[in-house]
Structure 1
Amino acid sequence: MPSRGSSRVSLTMTELRSRIRSGAWPVNSRIPTEAELAELFGVGRSTIREAVRSLANLGMLETAAGRGTFVRSLAPVPQVVTETLGAHRLADILGFRRALEVEAARLAALHATDEGVARLRALIASEAAALGRAEHDRVEHAQSRAVERGVTPGAFHFAVVEMSSNTLLTEMYASVMMSLRTGLASGAVIHGASHAVRQEDHTALLTALDERDAEAAARAAARHSDRDLVVASEPTHPTTPPPAATG
């Protein structure tokens, strides 16, 4: 029979996952603090800490020291997928990401709603502001600092993938981005275009989605993916993502 403590942790995990799945806490957003969550759910901070640690181990959350805990996936990321991706070159993983993004954009145009398009428009505005702040960082640190803020690789990209209405595609995309996070943080993977150009690409994709033009959306996604992230240096040995932070 499970202890009361383990039952509280399980129930708290269910509550956290519910808010993530519902979109109340979008991918790449920062969730409330440990103290705020304890008050919200009426449990102790140790219960919150254990629940967050468990979801981090599942790839749904990630804790950045001194910056908070961020949503990284709507669903648990299969360890076998992460390990498989980690055995491949970064260039191959980026190519796989491109294929997913292009198909996601095409499907998103077919499933787009006015509400979804409005959300993407708002994300473009908020990403532009956040990335603008990152410009004030030293160039070599801006990338990893942006990742910690939950800005890069971008809530916009994930929102487009979600709009595809294909849950398997969405989960695979989350796995790919988790595999790329090590490269992003180390500088092995960098942006191939300026913030301004990437924002123009996002706007072009948004326009295609707003017009429900699937082929134009796919072209815009392909053009953007080709210059959004590029490999700066290929590790000698492929690496898997670092273990999720434990609090």
Structure 2
Amino acid sequence: MRDLVRQAPLVLQVTERFRELIRRGEWAVGARIPGEHQLAGELGVSRGTVREALRALSTTGLLEPRIGDGTYVRATDEITGVLVRDEVAAGLTVVLDARAGLEAAAARLAARQAKSDAVAAARLAARQAKSDAVAALEDALAARAAAHEARDRAGYVAADAAFHRGVVVASGNPLLLRLFDAVEGVIHQSIEDTAVFPEDPDVRDAHAAIVRAIRTGDAEGAVAASYGLIDGVKEYM
């Protein structure tokens, strides 16, 4: 761990080192990290430097100091950390409404992307297989349906989470994906909180409608289906 350079401020270097440990999962969410004395010895810096770095990461919500118990990892991303720290995501309705906006925007872009690909294929007078993104959505839908049939709640939640991330992947927008991944923890929890057996048929059909709209390049249909899905979940709950 002792390979810090002296050109940049040590506190910034140590802060980034700790952030990287969290990002790589070496300091896992929910785990207690080593104490200041141990960290200072491993890095060859003062405890004051370590303390300032830990304080900076606590301010962003990545770490949570607990008096008399040590410091724990609270999130892997600053956006998620702020949500958890400020309890912005405490209300399920708040999360669902935010999901609707994010996923509708992604679905619209994905549909436009699919339409552009179809036009390009037509110009080339060639048939093309379904895009990897749409195929992944259909695979997630199939896994979701199979888990529902088997009453496999964990499998159902995992498949549903994969589906919704897949919609954002299909958008082709890296910033939307970055935002989705930043709040993936609260999104996953919202899926967990709203997963019921048997599911509402309207919610099931809305998932299929999103894929159909993306595949056919129906941007407005993709938006409507995305909002309709979340509205259906809220009404069912």
TM-score, normalised to structure 2, is 0.52
SS of the residue 1:152 aligns to: helix
| Higher relative contact order, chain-length normalized (CA < 8 Å, sep 6+) | 1
List, as ranges, runs of 4+ consecutive aligned residues in structure 1 with deviation greater than 6 Å.
none
Residue 150 of structure 2 corresponds to residue 143 of structure 1: no
- Amino acid of the residue matched to residue 163 of structure 1? A
Query: CA shift at 1:57, angstroms?
Result: 4.2
What is the aligned counterpart of 2:160 among 137, 152, 156? 152
What is the aligned counterpart of 2:227 among 222, 226, 236? 222
What is the aligned counterpart of 1:54 among 26, 31, 40? 26
Aligned residues: 162
Mark the CA change 1:136 to 1:91 in structure 2 (over 3 Å): closer, same or farther.
same
- Residue of structure 1 equivalent to 2:88: 87
Q: Which digits, 9 at most, give the CA deviation of each residue in 1:160-216, with x for residues without a partner?
A: 11222222222222233311434544xx43359837544432332222222222212
Structure 2: gaps of 5 or more residues: 4-21, 31-75, 118-127
Mark the CA change 1:197 to 1:152 in structure 2 (over 3 Å): closer, same or farther.
same
Counterparts of 1:145 and 1:195, CA distance in 2? 18
Identity %: 25
Structure 1: gaps of 5 or more residues: 4-49, 59-75, 233-247
Mark the CA change 1:82 to 1:55 in structure 2 (over 3 Å): closer, same or farther.
farther
Query: CA shift at 1:102, angstroms?
Result: 1.0
- Amino acid of the residue matched to residue 178 of structure 1? G
Counterparts of 2:222 and 2:186, CA distance in 1? 25
- Residue of structure 2 equivalent to 1:96: 98
Counterparts of 2:105 and 2:131, CA distance in 1? 17
Counterparts of 2:87 and 2:236, CA distance in 1? 15
- Would the aligned equivalents of 2:106 and 2:171 in 1 still touch at CA under 8 Å? yes
Counterparts of 2:86 and 2:100, CA distance in 1? 14
Mark the CA change 1:170 to 1:132 in structure 2 (over 3 Å): closer, same or farther.
same
Structure with the higher fraction of residues in helix conformation:
2
Mark the CA change 1:171 to 1:203 in structure 2 (over 3 Å): closer, same or farther.
same
Cα RMSD over matched residues?
A: 3.9
- Amino acid of the residue matched to residue 77 of structure 1? D
Query: CA shift at 1:219, angstroms?
Result: 1.3
Matches within 5 A, 1:107-122: 107-112=109-114, 113=117, 117-122=131-136
Matches within 5 A, 1:157-176: 157-176=164-183
